[in-house]
Structure formats: C-alpha cells, structure tokens
Amino acid sequence: MPETSAPSPAGDKPKIGNAGAAKKAATGAYVPGDVSPNRRVQRRYSIRLWSIRHSRLLEWFYARFAQAFLLLHPVWKAIGYSRVEAPVTFVEKRVKGMLFDCRMCGQCILSSTGMSCPMNCPKQLRNGPCGGVRANGNCEVEPDMPCVWVKAWEGSRNMVRGDAILNVQRPVNQSLRETSSWLRVTAEAAARRQASEGAAP
C-alpha cells in the first residue's frame, strides 16, 4: 500500500521556497494563512504590476493630483486638517490599496520607488533589494511574488524622475501608520509656499 499512497520521491516537484517552507510549517511553527510562502498566486499581484508598468502615467497623474490637492488647501484648512483626516484616509487607503497594494505606512515614497510599494516587501526595505532575490526575479521570502524591488527598478526606469530611487530613504516613522500622506504632503507644501511668500516681500 505505501507505494500507492505516498508520492514517490522521484515524482516530487522541487520544493518551492527556502528549505521547504511548507515542510517547516508542518513542524508546528505558526504560519499565518494568507502570507504562507507557498500559497500566494500570481493573480493577486496583477493590478500592482499594471501600476508599475504604467508608472510614467501614474507619475504624471499624481503630479496633477497633488497640485489640485494643494489648490484645495484653503478648504482643508477651513474644515481643519484633523477633521478631514479620517475621510481622506478612508479614500486614500482604498484607492492606493487597489492600485499598489498600499500598506498605509503614512509616508508614501511611491514616486521614489517606481510606483512599487516597498511596504509589500516582506522585509519592508525602503532602499533597494536585499541580496536574496531569486535568479528569476522573485522574492526570497515569498517565492511566487515578483520581488518588489526588481519591479521598482523597472518602474523607475520608465519615470521622468525615476532617479529618485537612488536617494537614501529615512527609516519608517511607525507612529505615522494609517494616516494620510496626501494630506501631509499638501500641508507641508502649503507651509513651504507660505514660508517662501513670507520671505519674498
């Protein structure tokens, strides 16, 4: 009986993952359901990959969008930035979540990473790929996912300001998680504008 019930070793497909992650999971170590190294399928990444392929379009669009947001600065100010925070965050989370699988770190650097959200990297690297990228360009940790940084490099090559990928990024400020970076960027730009206007006359 064992011959029929147990799969023959010769017919085994090569194990996916480092040292057989699934095998290790079977030892009892806790593996959360939807981040299992072996279970994710390509389909889940398709929109994200579309965004990276169209990074130039999105870059152009975001520049317009940021301008519009800045024009609305008096409105935000009238209502109060803290009061618009919740609804804007709600929208931002859904829109960016769909396009980029955004993780709402609250300090968006998509423009510097070829429109590939670095928080999707299992190591959350913000400064480039780790040394473990597989030869096929997939992630070391999640063998089925194209490495976020391989894609980021491709995306950045299409962008006008793609060389921003060469800047060293500061570590994530964890206290800004789940806040709107659209509003923060707008508020900062408005403050800068005000400062320069104040200095001009």
Angle between helices 181-199 and 55-71 (to 10 degrees): 60
| Residue range at the interface with other proteins (CB under 8 A); choices 3-11, 101-109, 168-176, 179-187 | 168-176
Told to check if 122 binds ligand SF4 by CB under 6 A, we report: yes
User: Interface mask (CB under 8 A) for other proteins, residues 121-160, using x and -?
Assistant: -xxxxxxxxxxxxxx-x--xx-----x-xx--xx------
**Least distance in Å: CB of 153 to other proteins?**
4
**Least distance in Å: CB of 152 to other proteins?**
9
Told to check if 132 binds ligand SF4 by CB under 6 A, we report: yes
Mark 119-153 as b/e (b = at least 16 C-beta within 10 Å): bbbbeebbbebeeebeeeebbbbbbbbbbbbbbbb
CA trace torsion 68, 70, 72, 75 (10° rounding): 160
- Which residues would be at the binding site for ligand SF4 (CB under 6 A)? 121-123, 125, 129-130, 132-133, 139-141, 147-149
